[in-house]
Amino acid sequence: MGPIHLLELASSQARWLEMRQATIASNVANANTPGFRALDVTPFAPNFERSAAALTTTSSRHMALSAAETNVQRSRKSESWEVVHSGNSVSIEQEMLKAGEVNRDYSMNTAVVKAFHRMFIASSKG
């Protein structure tokens, strides 16, 4: 049996989500600090692309995907919504949206790991 990279990738994403949530919390905590600039962490997608394994077919009946079918569209990140007179660029609304994204991503991460675990247990029981 070959190595299972899914659990390592899920763990890496969970650490990234933890760091992003801490950054968001810091932004919210400094929302009234004059001159504070909102921070964010680098996207997780480059980490995912570096560790992504190529799809493997083990049977001639498996469907093959062309290179055009595997391309991913990138979304553009918006800049901070406003900079107030004090020079602070933290937008509470934008930080809450980011916190919601972290929550959704963490829930998806957890659901994928649980489903993989159930599948792994079922296949090992025979």
- What type of residue sits at position 72? V
Determine the number of helices (DSSP H) and then strands (DSSP E) in the chain.
3, 0
pLDDT at residue 60, as a whole number: 67
Per-residue pLDDT of 18-55, as tens digits, reads 999 999 999 999 988 898 888 888 888 776 666 555 55
Per-residue pLDDT of 107-126, as tens digits, reads 999 999 999 999 989 988 86
Please state, in angstroms and rounded to a whole number, the distance separating the CA atoms of residues 51 and 44. Answer: 11
Please state, in angstroms and rounded to a whole number, the distance separating the CA atoms of residues 40 and 98. Answer: 9
Per-residue pLDDT of 61-89, as tens digits, reads 666 655 444 433 333 445 545 666 777 88
Average the pLDDT over 77-104 and give the result: 80
